[in-house]
Amino acid sequence: MNSSSGSPAFPRGRVLSSDCPSRRLLAGVTSKWGVLVLVALSRGPLRWSELLRTIGGISEKMLAQTLRTFEADGLVLRDARPVVPPYVEYGLTKDGREVTDLLLPLVEWVQDHVGADGSAERSG
């Protein structure tokens, strides 16, 4: 988004086009690890090891990749303090909170509609 005007930097409604620049951001935000990182950070800033413990099954490589991408996209802020031992904390930016607020209802819906085998429950 163009932060000065709040309007997109490209025409809206092009997400279905193969050359739409929003697809990269959409792919990251809606990826399995992307959603889980955002959900974990929705509760407040966390250190690397806390994120790794909180998000079951994520590898160090995927956590690092996801955090780097979100930091570059302006969704996550990396707060590195010059102390010994190093102290690094990750938190959501304003844009990160905004997109996470949109994702949380979807995550809740999924949790409410998943069957014991992991598939969607059928509701007639």
User: Across residues 15-34, what is the average pLDDT?
Assistant: 88
Q: How many helices (DSSP H) and strands (DSSP E) are in the chain?
A: 5, 3
Residues 87-124: pLDDT tens digits? 899 999 999 999 999 999 999 999 988 877 778 777 65
Q: Residue 52 domain-assigned?
A: yes
In contact, 105 and 99? CB cutoff 8 Å: no
User: Across residues 37-49, what is the average pLDDT?
Assistant: 96
pLDDT at position 58 is 97
Bond into 85 cis (ω within 30): yes
pLDDT for residue 73 is more than 60:
yes
pLDDT for residue 51 is more than 90:
yes
Tell me the pTM. 0.82
Q: Residue 4 domain-assigned?
A: no
Q: Residue 108 domain-assigned?
A: yes
Q: Which domain holds residue 47?
A: 22-112
Pairwise CA distance, residues 77 & 3, whole Å:
16
Q: Residue 83 domain-assigned?
A: yes
In contact, 38 and 99? CB cutoff 8 Å: yes
